[in-house]
Amino acid sequence: MNKRSTRQAFTAPDQHRANLLFGQENRHLKQIERTLGVRISSRGGDLQIEGDEVATSLARILLVQLDDLLREGYPLYPADIDYAIRILSADASAHLRDIFLDTIFISARKKIIAPKSYAQKTYIDAIRANDVVFGIGPAGTGKTYLAMAMAVAFLMKKEVSRIVLVRPAVEAGEKLGFLPGDIAEKVNPYLRPLYDALYDMVDFEKGQGLIEKGVVEVAPLAFMRGRTLNDAFVILDEAQNTTAEQMKMFLTRLGFGSRAVITGDVTQIDLPGGRLSGLVEAQRVLQGVEGISFNFFSDRDVVRHPIVQLIVQAYERNTGRVTGDHFGSEGKPFAS
């Protein structure tokens, strides 16, 4: 059956906004054409959109909402257009303003950190509302980065007095062999992604200062045993590589005025001997516990280089998205 072809019109309110919306040499318009399969012709600030009825309607909705973001002073980048198309393709009634303008933090490089998908928006809302939040999904979905942004925002608002960043020291298939130095130096390679995220938020010098003062602590999970963490924002990254005992130990470290975010990908478990992941068990044991929120991401939420989304999709097709005995599509637990 032939798709119905139609035409839609859009007019930018002024030339300045038209330049920002259309992009240099109409690059944004060409990006929309490629992604949605429409044809867009421009004359000044006037556009004619031609193609499939659904696609042309979506393109116009997209342009109207992107222009709305520009009016609010939002800096529009090509990646934002890709994220916006994903959101509106899934739900044409969505409001990009509610997602993109929910600023979490402005980094040292003046980069606005805000959600780029419904799942990310739901995730940060959950962090605001709950004491313990799980972010579960594939690489590149912003689980750890957004948690770090929220932690820094809480610290700057004095809602917590320190940040504690934790990772299990589990090899991802490699044999690292002997590492020189004291115990902190030996596990430092495992913690590097957390350092990188911190320095992206507050720049290297300030980040180092926070670490030296103990305001930010970066530690392997083994260092948490026996401690009680009060007035802290605690992030446990790569939680799929915790054992069930380690996960219980970590969760029971929380003291008064603290909150925890636990992130991981149940499709990338590197525990030896096929041991049950603490992240897998936590989904079964803690479902329905008040104050604990589980948030799931999929390949649609990947916010790295576009090739990362294609890589994630390819691997998921190859494995049939098998994520463990207790899990179904997108790593969500089966209904009991």
Tokens representing 313 are 């999709």
Q: Are 210 and 202 in contact (CB under 8 A)?
A: yes
Q: Are 169 and 221 in contact (CB under 8 A)?
A: yes
Cα 301 to Cα 59: distance, rounded to the nearest angstrom:
20
What letter does residue 315 receive in the DSSP assignment?
A: H
Query: Which tens digit of pLDDT belongs to each residue from 63-115?
Result: 999 999 999 999 899 989 999 999 999 999 999 999 999 999 887 777 888 99
Average pLDDT of the chain, as a whole number: 86
Tokens representing 210 are 């926070």
Query: Which tens digit of pLDDT belongs to each residue from 14-67?
Result: 999 999 999 999 999 999 999 999 999 999 899 999 999 999 999 999 999 999
In the chain, how many H helices and how many E strands?
12, 11
Higher pLDDT among residues 218 and 39, named by residue: 39
User: With pLDDT > 70 as the criterion, what percentage of the chain qualifies?
Assistant: 87
Of 324, 335, 336, which is closest to residue 136 (Cα–Cα)?
324
Cα 336 to Cα 327: distance, rounded to the nearest angstrom:
11
Cα 194 to Cα 237: distance, rounded to the nearest angstrom:
8
Cα 100 to Cα 92: distance, rounded to the nearest angstrom:
16
pLDDT tier for residue 185 given thresholds of 50, 70 and 90: low
pTM for this prediction: 0.82
Phi, psi torsion values for 164, nearest 5 degrees? -120, 120
Which residue in this structure is represented by tokens 């600023």?
103
Strand residues in the chain grouped as ranges (E):
5-11, 39-43, 46-52, 105-106, 112-113, 132-136, 162-167, 216-220, 232-236, 259-264, 292-296
Higher pLDDT among residues 283 and 319, named by residue: 283
Q: Give DSSP secondary structure letters for 117-174.
A: SHHHHHHHHHHHH-SEEEEE--TTSSHHHHHHHHHHHHHHTTSSSEEEEEE----SS-
Cα 29 to Cα 36: distance, rounded to the nearest angstrom:
11
